[in-house]
Structure 1
């Protein structure tokens, strides 16, 4: 008799324990928990589930469906999920869903949905849990914005590392990198039987020291920017224009022979000479000397620079304001 009493007490304790566990979970879980019948009507709800609708009593949603709580498209999507779960017996785990409340507030949550079985193993509905991940989504969005800002800053820093601040043209360091890459490209092209080449133009502003001494360094900077803008305007998008030194410039001309390089040099010389600067009502004409060279597969980067520099020296030595 005592054994039977002990067994009954153990059974009651187990039942009470299970009931208490369920009650504790449904009352205190921060994740929402719900149970639905085959028609998607709520049978049982956790307190967290009803609280998200501004309700307090978990019984308040019994008999209602998602159509009573959510926008129609959201409710229809949920109903399709539940029909599929009841048909296949397969759960949906960790789906990310978005709910836009009537007040415009956006709520993100991770939803898991499961088949609900009776004691005979027959599906009588569905049940599910949702976890509010709105703060996480906001953090992800903020991180995404920070990453975009970082990428933009990184791009800007890369640009600044190859751009001359005064002229806005590429700088001397980028000149040598670009020249080396260009030589490799055209070396491969010529190795395949194409007679393509490129040319280099070096430019120096004539008597720039006099301009600085006579009109001041501020005006000298204006002259640098002025010439830079004219060079960029007179060259192709495929050309590379650099500020090579203080008053020196370099232009790499893809697919251009020596004749084309000299023609460009002459056009630049005339354009700059015919576009004076004005200071105190007085026109100040700038002039340039130009040296040219064309790539030969037998030379390296320094050779072609020296060839163009030698031609620039000849232009200077022969009276300036000319192309060699």
Structure 2
């Protein structure tokens, strides 16, 4: 009994709910409570009706105080002129402007971002009698997007830096052993695609080893040995071509890839570097001395793989050592 009675009252109660609202109530509710700014303008872009949020934004105590004024009364000229031009274009074409991002630089330098939409205002017969629009303050969202963009850029730069460092030897400043083989395989792949250009279908690698490096470390200490490594690295970087790539192969060994360079030209480069290194002083706070290096040179035309090419250059480097060091083979 009580359940049936409750259902009867509920149905009766629902039937009493309004199924329509007075037009004036709808407009007042929206204009007085919307957090977005809402405005209506005449054909001259003068305000004729404004929401409470719009009045608050412009530091007006009453929306009615804005009637008859325009954007030039509240905004910098450039901002107001752009808004005026948009509205006049809408009046001329009848086409709305939806989702337009606007930047407002206030007198104190503060920046406010809006997402604005503007539409033609029509009378009952469909004639354009002005414009109306809404705008939402998206400053917080814009700032968050800019911060995210900055963070993404910083992350990308950090990743690029890490990738760069992963290919570098920290002591010599040259590329490292791992990147040597990556570059060597890439060079071999490139010449395989250049069969139509014989003059560019070759490269040469140089392997060089510091003569008596263990004696230097044992006699002067590892810090002096580090200075020797750095000096060799700087000499190679500053002397080779921009197209050449220099590596610290490991320990006191270095490698250079010389693109578009046949064997005889590579041997000439190696001998030039050998002489330059021999005349470049190694300087510390208490010492000045000279070092010598030995070279092994091999051409891509002499091997079918990176491993074969390195082994050939290494054999020739060993031969240089065996024949007295400070020479090129």
DSSP 3-state at the match of 1:222: helix
Which whole-Å CA distance do the structure 1 matches of 2:255 and 2:174 have between them? Answer: 10
Task: Confirm or deny that 1:181 pairs with 2:186.
Answer: yes
Note if 1:170 corresponds to 2:175.
yes
State the 1:15 CA deviation.
Answer: 8.8
Partner of 2:295: 290
Relative distance call for 1:187 and 1:319 in structure 2 (3 A) is same
Alpha-carbon spacing, 1:283–1:104, altered in 2? closer, same or farther (3 Å)? closer
1:194 to 170, 186, 198: 198
1:66 is the counterpart of 2:85:
no
Distance 2:35 2:283 in 1: 74
Please give the alpha-carbon distance, in whole angstroms, between the structure 1 residues aligned to 2:283 and 2:219: 14
State whether structure 2 residue 127 is matched by structure 1 residue 122: yes
Distance 2:302 2:68 in 1: 85
Residue aligning to 1:306:
311
Corresponding position: 1:105 with 2:110? yes
Asked if the contact 2:302/2:309 (under 8 Å) is kept, the reply is no
CA–CA separation in structure 2 for the residues paired with 1:165 and 1:278: 20
Equivalent of 2:214 in 209, 215, 220: 209
Residues 1:90 and 2:95 are matched in the alignment: yes
> Contact between 2:217 and 2:224, CA under 8 Å: does it hold in 1?
yes
RMSD across aligned positions (CA) = 1.7
Return the offset for 1:307: 1.0
- Tell me, in whole angstroms, the C-alpha distance in 2 between the residues paired with 1:278 and 1:179: 33
Q: Aligned partners of 1:91, 1:267: CA distance in 2, in Å?
A: 73
Gaps of 5+ in 1: 1-12
Q: Displacement, 1:56?
A: 1.8
Deviation, structure 1 residue 54 = 1.4
1:218 equivalent to 2:204? Answer no
Mapped to 2, the partners of 1:174 and 1:303 lie a distance apart of 17
Query: So what's the TM-score if we normalise by structure 2?
Result: 0.90
Gaps of 5+ in 2: 1-17
Change (3 A) 1:304 1:286: same
Residues 45 and 15 of structure 1, relative CA distance in 2, 3 Å threshold? farther
Query: Across the two proteins, how many residue pairs are aligned to each other?
Result: 311
Q: Work out whether 1:271 is the aligned partner of 2:276.
A: yes
Match of 1:322 among 316, 321, 327: 327
